Amino acid sequence: MKKTNLVDHGFMDARIKLIDVAAFLDRIQRHEQTDDYRFHALKDAINELQTDEVGRVGRILSKLSDHSVEPIDKADIQGAFGAPKPNNQ
Amino acid sequence: MRYIEPHAHMVSRTTSDYEALAYAGCKAVNEPAFWAGFDRSSGDGFYDYFRQITEYEPKRAAKFCIDHYCWLCINPKEAEDVGLAREVISIIPNFIPADNVLGIGEIGLNKNSKNELLILEEHIQLAADHDQMILVHTPHLEDKLKGTKLIVDALNNQSKIDPSKVIIDHVEEHTANIVLSNGYWAGMTLYPESKVTHNRAIDMLEMFGDENVWLNSACDWGISDPLSVPKAALEMRRRGYDDEYIDKIVYKNPVQFMSQSGKFKLH
């Protein structure tokens, strides 16, 4: 396999996405909508970006997952929200 | 480049998409039965849908020299209605003998409810009774981790199911190892908003290995890209992978899995 400089390859894309996340958090705060549980779930997940151990993606996905183990009684909706509601834990 | 699109809902794509797939090197598409975007009101709707994917779609694909295969089920999004689900399951055996049917799918869970799990278990039993392969859908976003664990448990509980004939699709970094370590195949779906990007899929190949995995677009009526597999292949090339490796991932691996059904033959 040819060795590619992956920083050259992906830095600008990652930079764009990081700035977009920052803009999203600022936007939510400016519009005073920070009481939504997803805002806090995202901020909590972002802490993983500051860790040094490989596996950040898996840990972020885990933080944004429902960790209950029993099936729910009934599916009242068909969609998903991206983060578990606090009472699901 | 040659490749297989192992998960595409072509009933909701245009004929131009078949043409684009053919230009990109697609040799065969795999069409699991899925949700139509709304809940169907009776088994008759599914009867016609199964006719569409066993009779009509293969002809539409053949016009572009693409082989078309399909899988049958009622999607977990409609499984909350147990009566309807059982009505649909009862008509599936009529379609299993069709030339392009490879198995039961995409079964699985959506919101991880008791009724969804009950119907999943009945689909698994149907596959066992008819010696069919299985293609599994895993839930979205926050429901994926829990659902994947429940699905693997349900499959492991059926002793007649051979894990090497089951693919569990839409894995992500937190679920891939659950699937692969239990002996099942894993599908990585290039559907950026709710599943994985090209680069994350390639990262997962590096982390979890290149055996028993495939890449697919799961293109449907949503915001999705029927050309995402060849685009991922281009990204692999940009990251330094050679043609032989790319061919294994986008062609040989899906051929290896689907060839376990005696019906899969590339023309």
User: Which pLDDT belongs to residue B228?
Assistant: 98
**Domain contains B85:** yes
Q: Is the pLDDT of residue B10 over 90?
A: yes
The verdict on a CB contact (< 8 Å) between A4 and B110 is no
Question: What tens digit of pLDDT does each residue of A27-82 get?
Answer: 999 999 999 999 999 999 999 999 999 999 999 999 999 999 999 999 999 999 99
**Domain contains B266:** no
Give the domain range for residue B252.
3-258
**Domain contains B267:** no
**Domain contains B265:** no
Contact B103, B132 (CB under 8 A): yes
B173: cis peptide before it, omega within 30°?
A: no
Alpha-carbon distance B62 to nearest alpha carbon in chain A (angstroms):
34
**Domain contains B101:** yes
User: Which pLDDT belongs to residue A89?
Assistant: 46
Q: Give chain B's length.
A: 267
Most A CBs within 10 Å, among B40, B111, B180, to test the A interface: B111
Nearest C-alpha neighbor of B158 from the set B112, B212, B185, B122: B122
Nearest to B239 among A9, A81, A83 (CB): A9
CATH code of the domain in which B86 resides:
3.20.20.140
How far is Cα of residue A89 from the mean position of the Cα atoms in its chain? 17
Angle B106-B169-B36 from CA coordinates, rounded to 5°: 40
**Domain contains B142:** yes
- Is this structure's pTM higher than 0.80? yes
Question: What tens digit of pLDDT does each residue of B233-246 get?
Answer: 999 999 999 999 99
Question: What tens digit of pLDDT does each residue of B125-172 get?
Answer: 999 999 999 999 999 999 999 999 999 999 999 999 999 999 999 999
Q: Count structural domains, chain B.
A: 1
Which residues 163-222 of B have a C-beta within 8 angstroms of A? 172-174, 194, 199-200, 203
Which 3 state secondary structure label does DSSP give A23? helix
Question: Cβ contacts of residue A50 below 8 Å, gap of 6+?
Answer: none
In the block, residue with structure tokens 């999943």: B120
The Cα B264–Cα B267 span in angstroms is 10
Q: How many contacts (CB atoms, under 8 Å) link A and B?
A: 87
ipTM of the complex: 0.95
